[in-house]
């Protein structure tokens, strides 16, 4: 269990919003990570079929994801004076 708990988080920056997000197995698809801020993959995947095959949440889930990320961002800023938080949803 220790290797999983003590592993440092990997962060990536969303170039569209200039915000950092947690890059983990829950938002990884095709070797690239989906930003919860813009729903874009970082780094950008090659176009064509490869990009179309990447996971995208439904419109309903995406709205929830945006709301949860705003709430968690406010929470971590108020109680922890900053940091990085990311919320990812899937069905």
Which of the four pLDDT bands, split at 50, 70 and 90, describes residue 79? very high
Helices (H), the chain: 2-5, 49-52, 59-80
pLDDT at 14 over 80: yes
Could you give the CA distance from residue 91 to residue 78 in angstroms, rounded to a whole number?
30
pLDDT tens-place string over residues 44-66: 888 777 778 899 999 999 999 99
10: tokens are 């990997």
Q: What is the pLDDT of residue 2?
A: 63
Q: What is the pLDDT of residue 46?
A: 80
Q: What is the pLDDT of residue 82?
A: 85
Quick check: 76 and 82 in contact, CB under 8 A? yes
Q: What is the pLDDT of residue 45?
A: 84
3-class DSSP assignment, residue 73: helix
* Residue among 81, 65, 79, 80 at smallest CA distance from 21: 65
Could you give the CA distance from residue 71 to residue 67 in angstroms, rounded to a whole number?
6
> Model's pTM, two decimal places?
0.83
């Amino acid at each position: 269990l220790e290797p999983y708990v003590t592993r440092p988080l990997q962060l990536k920056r969303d170039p569209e919003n200039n915000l950092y997000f947690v890059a983990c197995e829950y938002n990884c698809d095709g070797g690239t990570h989906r930003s919860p801020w813009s729903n874009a993959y970082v780094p950008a995947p090659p176009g064509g079929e490869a990009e179309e095959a990447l996971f995208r949440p439904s419109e309903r889930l995406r709205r929830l994801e945006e709301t949860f990320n705003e709430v968690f961002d406010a929470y971590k800023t108020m109680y922890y004076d900053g940091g990085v938080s990311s919320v990812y949803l899937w069905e």
